[in-house]
Structure 1
Amino acid sequence: MDTTTFNSSNFTAVPGSLGLRNRPLKLHRTAIHFKSFTNFSVRASAVGASDSTVTLLDYGAGNVQSIRNAIRYLGLDIKDVQTPEDILNAKRLIFPGVGAFASMMDVLNKNGMAEALRAYIENDRPFLGICLGLHLLFESSEENGPVKGLGLIPGVVGRFDSSNGCRVPHIGWNALQIKNDSVILDEIANRHVYFVHSYRAVPSEENEEWISSTCNYGIDFISSIRRGNVHAVQFHPEKSGDVGLSILRKFLLPNSSITKKSFEGKATKLAKRVIACLDVRTNDNGDLVVTKGDQYDVREQTKENEVRNLGKPVELAGQYYLDGADEVSFLNITGFRDFPLGDLPMLQILRYTSENVFVPLTVGGGIRDFTDANGRYYSSLEVASEYFRSGADKISIGSDAVYAAEEYLKTGVKTGKSSLEQISRVYGNQAVVVSIDPRRQYLTSPYEVGFKSVKVTNLGPNGEEYAWYQCTVNGGREGRPIGAYELAKAVEELGAGEILLNCIDCDGQGKGFDIDLIKLISDAVSIPVIASSGAGKAEHFSEVFSQTNASAALAAGIFHRKEVPIQSVKDHLLKKGIEVRM
């Protein structure tokens, strides 16, 4: 694919429900370049014109931008379903089900599309369901229910049981066990694919003829089905890198003549994730740059005191995808605090990045309720929706989650009005990450404060043996009367699906993660925990994975400065017997 230069002066924002079309962009002088980042490319000219269109059923919830980008990357056009007749007339239909099962079925039943889908599938027409697109084929789901599905496959979709030690949601790269001829999975034996879900269907004698692969996460569950031309997968091929693109190609272009890549691997179980984080903000010249803080200070300690500039966001994200990052996280620290949706450059970064980066994208910063200068109120749900439409798979909430947790712990009442509750209710808790920014407070006794404390591995400056972790807001500038332990427990109750656990004391120090903190939080909750702050060498990753229950580890500066390549981290982890995606 040719390199394309895209300048902000000739780009119009994609309109959403928030009326953003004509707002001025702030990309300034920085042009954005994007390249082909995968091992094959198929153009529409390679197939007949009548075969170049894919029908997509987008019922209006969650991020389907990624599947759109993958389809277009493979050289095909998209026709969106508007009526039930569009389903019945489709030559190839993809249903990237996202969100919650009950709301999905409600929409499909009300507009007559459920019956059209049933007829289409019963007639053995080419169909690919993704995630909820697999669930709806079963008799019912326990999510927000029980709620009836299409009833084509025997079985009930139930929730994972966290009591057996598995973290729910099931988030990350897991291995498939191929059971039967699946056609679309033929080239990916023993490789990891990306899952993000809390509900699953289980194999039985009644549905075994449908099953093409299973996956183990505490129990064996159905990871894909196939009967004739009907396929559905629990994982997300559009977020599974080259392996996922291969699956989509096999479904969409079964007769295409392109160079194939061998995907033989040694995946056996859920892999530990290595995540690249990009702190994005404007520098003093008004350009969007990737920066990195030293205990949250992003300015150079020089006479000019300028913002550290470590590269361009889209280019770095693309390079990290090539380097093997399992996820890419953007943290917007520009500070559009009075009008987060005025930050169109961040939305543009997501759009550009998601066109060529086929692993999960998380974005955080400014996702909250607010009122603009004209007095118009915007809910946090509207703000998050704009990020999802722009290509984000998960959103990260920081300060707003602290305030919500404080109120919840004070009253014991879930109001349903906090950003965390609103977004997780509509998009599912797997789409919501809570970012915790604590600062270590040393104690001579564990009983000095009313918050959970730990006995620290390294003594405090005055020989203190204990510490508690005080949560902060506003980029670490303000301490709050709540500990990291109490916050983590509260946000899990309020609907968080994952915790990004930072540590101000370790940020930018390169001396390793705060093992005491990460062990405290990862042992306290049953949702995945991402370890952050302090990585300085590959050994720090094996240390955090071997000594805590962290599901993932995140780094920024060592990747930006090319001190430790992502591949070197993964090679080291493999040598230590820690499974990672390769």
Structure 2
Amino acid sequence: MPSRQAAAVEASTSTPRATSRVPARCRTSSLVCKASNSANREVTLLDYGAGNVRSVRNAIKKLGYTIRDVEKPSDLASADKLVFPGVGSFGQAMKILTKKGLVGPLKDYIASGRPFLGICLGLQLLFEGSEESGGCEGLGVIPGAVTQFDTRLGLPVPHIGWNNIAPTRGSALLDGVGDRRVYYVHSYRSATPSPANSEWVLATTQYGGEFVAAVNRGSVSAVQFHPEKSGATGLDILAGFLHPKEAVAARQAAKEAASSPASPPSGPSGLARRVIACLDVRSNDQGDLVVTKGDQYDVREKDGGRDVRNLGKPVDLAARYFEEGADEVAFLNITGFRDCVMEDTPMLEVLRRASERVFVPLTAGGGGREGGEKGGRGERRSRHQTAESGADKVSIGSDAVDAAQAYYVRGGVADGSTAIEQISAVYGKQAVVVSIDPRRVYVTDPAAVPHTTVRTAKAGPHGEQYCWWQCTVKGGREGRDIGAVELAKAVEALGAGEILLNCIDNDGVGKGFDLELVDAVSRAVTIPVIASSGAGCPQHFSEVFHSTGAAAALAAGIFHRREVGIAEVKLHLREQNIPARL
């Protein structure tokens, strides 16, 4: 890394420091210390080259273990503890395992009775087959097949977010964890419980019906959720696999030590509405990466020397939000639309350092055209670099507008040329977030424009009763002739797994989300929609969840400036009977 970039990263990060603000229930120090005091703890990691394995590595290391990678099939024969994380498509994973000669040795390891933990796709591959990838065979260890969620039920798919687990029996993996929420991200669900696989089923989850959330038989365990992204609960579960007796004892001790007489409202069960902290990151005039925020995307101070507004260091702020209970953290490199691509900035190093301290999902976006090549190996290379650096999702902005317009020119036909299609094909649609930056356009007659319009309760400057939302690119500086609803439909068809819906008119205003915009887009698609721009108080979060189909809501400035706390938002949601993770 050039010296200027190295200096920027150092200025943007710092050594973790103790804080008294972290609730005791969020700490995992007892588990970490117990594991660290035992010598010769090694975990073998089967990384077949897809998804964010860095987070799994960091979680295992945090619990006091060293890691040995599987480099050849014979490495499985000498493993003592094997962790198999998987992200992406079922067919792609089986193809890679077969090509590398790992299928037979992996089955032999599982049959040997040595400790095994599969994560997400690492669980699904244990079943007999999957509907994904046109239908293909799995490892055949557990009876049953992986099936697609039924979108006709009206639930957003992929299943993204924090949901409850319901243990069916006792186990070191989950004992003491109870029904606390864990983080899911998948479009295909594990097999449903049946008499044929009943001896395997350890826990289930409800989402459009019941499906297998965790399995265990002897020393073989696997989970559909991501423990490495499930905060303190997930680290507890990983500890239950790595050192089960110590983990159960630590959980019991923590339970006995809990002395808080007032407990928060329990709230409804099921998929929680996510509260996401967003960090707009850019270089300031001195070359340091800083977290900033502005009004309608103007991030410079309004007086004096017009310096870039500096609200903190990216890694420190991300760690703070994790400690305060953020469900996800998003890094958006807003320097990117000025032709500073992400791989040429210190942002990747920021992601690496953040992933060592943040154990909830990380999204990375911005940085111009990924890799500098439209629709080619550049996007794949950039996505791989971003995932290797600790990001779980990549956010695509301006390129998505180009892709959607080209999609409609072709008559609504996907041709595989876009970053959305290529990334989702390899890593799964859950890895692709499309960021939409629209602004309101008022019209007197809906028939006068080819875009989806709504009758608005907020009349235009000349009394107009209808509006549509024009998509913009280059940080809102350039408008395109495509509406937000049309863009959302196109990117869903191309393979996006989630939409981050901004609103230039509301950005930085603090008067609430554009409910009409969020409602229109969430009704038009079946993938989850994240509401963004305008949050000023906890009530704005409950409003958007009550009034629209938003799966999550994002805020930046109010969290940076400590005007509103994340825990305050969560407690308000619970009081309003909205599912929320505390």
Same fold per superposition (TM over 0.5) = yes
Residue in 2 that maps onto 1:289: 290
Tell whether the 8 Å contact from 1:324 to 1:566 is kept in structure 2 after alignment.
yes
Tell whether the 8 Å contact from 1:214 to 1:220 is kept in structure 2 after alignment.
yes
User: Shift of residue 367 of structure 1?
Assistant: 5.5
Q: Indicate whether 1:198 and 2:187 are aligned.
A: yes
Deviations 1:511-530 (A, max 9, x none): 00000000000011000000
Aligned mate of 1:139, from 128, 143, 159: 128
Residue in 1 that maps onto 2:104: 115
Deviations 1:143-170 (A, max 9, x none): 1032111111111111111011111100
Residue in 2 that maps onto 1:39: 27
SS at 1:34's partner residue? coil
Q: 1:367 to 1:79 in 2, by over 3 A?
A: farther
Q: 1:555 to 1:24 in 2, by over 3 A?
A: closer
Tell whether the 8 Å contact from 2:43 to 2:83 is kept in structure 1 after alignment.
yes
In the alignment, the residues of structure 2 paired with residue 463 and residue 159 of structure 1 have an alpha-carbon distance, to the nearest angstrom, of: 46
SS at 2:448's partner residue? coil
In the alignment, the residues of structure 1 paired with residue 558 and residue 141 of structure 2 have an alpha-carbon distance, to the nearest angstrom, of: 50
TM-score (normalizing by structure 2): 0.92
SS at 1:526's partner residue? coil
Deviations 1:217-258 (A, max 9, x none): 011000000101110000000000000000001110123377
Deviations 1:403-444 (A, max 9, x none): 000000111321211111111111100010000000100111
In the alignment, the residues of structure 1 paired with residue 69 and residue 371 of structure 2 have an alpha-carbon distance, to the nearest angstrom, of: 32
Please identify, of 260-269 and 403-412, the stretch whose mean Cα deviation from structure 2 is larger: 260-269
The one-letter amino acid paired with 1:510 is G
Deviations 1:166-223 (A, max 9, x none): 1110000001111122320112112100000011121112111110110000110000
**Alignment RMSD:** 2.1
Residue in 2 that maps onto 1:15: none
Q: Indicate whether 1:274 and 2:264 are aligned.
A: no
Q: Indicate whether 1:362 and 2:352 are aligned.
A: no
Deviations 1:11-47 (A, max 9, x none): 9xxxxxxxxxxx8664364552224775123258745
In the alignment, the residues of structure 2 paired with residue 81 and residue 43 of structure 1 have an alpha-carbon distance, to the nearest angstrom, of: 27
Tell whether the 8 Å contact from 1:26 to 1:344 is kept in structure 2 after alignment.
no
Residue in 2 that maps onto 1:153: 142
In the alignment, the residues of structure 2 paired with residue 425 and residue 136 of structure 1 have an alpha-carbon distance, to the nearest angstrom, of: 17
User: Shift of residue 393 of structure 1?
Assistant: 0.4
Please identify, of 33-42 and 498-507, the stretch whose mean Cα deviation from structure 2 is larger: 33-42
User: Shift of residue 461 of structure 1?
Assistant: 1.5
Deviations 1:481-534 (A, max 9, x none): 100010000000000000000000000000000000000000110000000000
Aligned mate of 2:84, from 86, 95, 101: 95
Structure 1 residues 247-266: aligned runs within 5 Å: 247-256=237-246, 259-260=250-251, 261-262=254-255
**Unaligned 5+ runs, structure 2:** none
Aligned mate of 2:223, from 226, 233, 237: 233
In the alignment, the residues of structure 2 paired with residue 33 and residue 282 of structure 1 have an alpha-carbon distance, to the nearest angstrom, of: 20
Tell whether the 8 Å contact from 1:190 to 1:266 is kept in structure 2 after alignment.
no
Deviations 1:55-110 (A, max 9, x none): 00000111100000000111110000112221122111000011111111111122
Tell whether the 8 Å contact from 2:341 to 2:370 is kept in structure 1 after alignment.
no
Tell whether the 8 Å contact from 1:190 to 1:267 is kept in structure 2 after alignment.
no
Please identify, of 179-188 and 571-580, the stretch whose mean Cα deviation from structure 2 is larger: 179-188
In the alignment, the residues of structure 1 paired with residue 570 and residue 342 of structure 2 have an alpha-carbon distance, to the nearest angstrom, of: 37
Tell whether the 8 Å contact from 2:330 to 2:364 is kept in structure 1 after alignment.
yes
Q: 1:236 to 1:367 in 2, by over 3 A?
A: farther
The one-letter amino acid paired with 2:214 is S
The one-letter amino acid paired with 1:525 is V
Tell whether the 8 Å contact from 2:337 to 2:474 is kept in structure 1 after alignment.
no
Q: 1:279 to 1:534 in 2, by over 3 A?
A: same
Q: Indicate whether 1:86 and 2:92 are aligned.
A: no
SS at 1:553's partner residue? strand
Tell whether the 8 Å contact from 1:456 to 1:466 is kept in structure 2 after alignment.
yes
Q: How many residues align structurally?
A: 559
Q: Indicate whether 1:183 and 2:172 are aligned.
A: yes
Please identify, of 84-93 and 194-203, the stretch whose mean Cα deviation from structure 2 is larger: 84-93
The one-letter amino acid paired with 1:423 is I
Tell whether the 8 Å contact from 2:13 to 2:316 is kept in structure 1 after alignment.
no
Structure 1 residues 430-579: aligned runs within 5 Å: 430-579=430-579
SS at 1:379's partner residue? helix
**Unaligned 5+ runs, structure 1:** 1-7, 12-22
Tell whether the 8 Å contact from 1:336 to 1:342 is kept in structure 2 after alignment.
no
Q: Indicate whether 1:321 and 2:322 are aligned.
A: yes
Residue in 2 that maps onto 1:349: 350
In the alignment, the residues of structure 1 paired with residue 35 and residue 10 of structure 2 have an alpha-carbon distance, to the nearest angstrom, of: 36
Aligned mate of 1:59, from 48, 52, 56: 48
SS at 2:445's partner residue? coil
The one-letter amino acid paired with 2:162 is W
In the alignment, the residues of structure 1 paired with residue 250 and residue 368 of structure 2 have an alpha-carbon distance, to the nearest angstrom, of: 42
Deviations 1:286-333 (A, max 9, x none): 211100020111111113211111111111111111111000001001
Please identify, of 82-91 and 546-555, the stretch whose mean Cα deviation from structure 2 is larger: 82-91
The one-letter amino acid paired with 2:121 is L
> If each structure's helix is expressed as a fraction of its own residues, which one has the higher value?
2
In the alignment, the residues of structure 1 paired with residue 564 and residue 176 of structure 2 have an alpha-carbon distance, to the nearest angstrom, of: 31
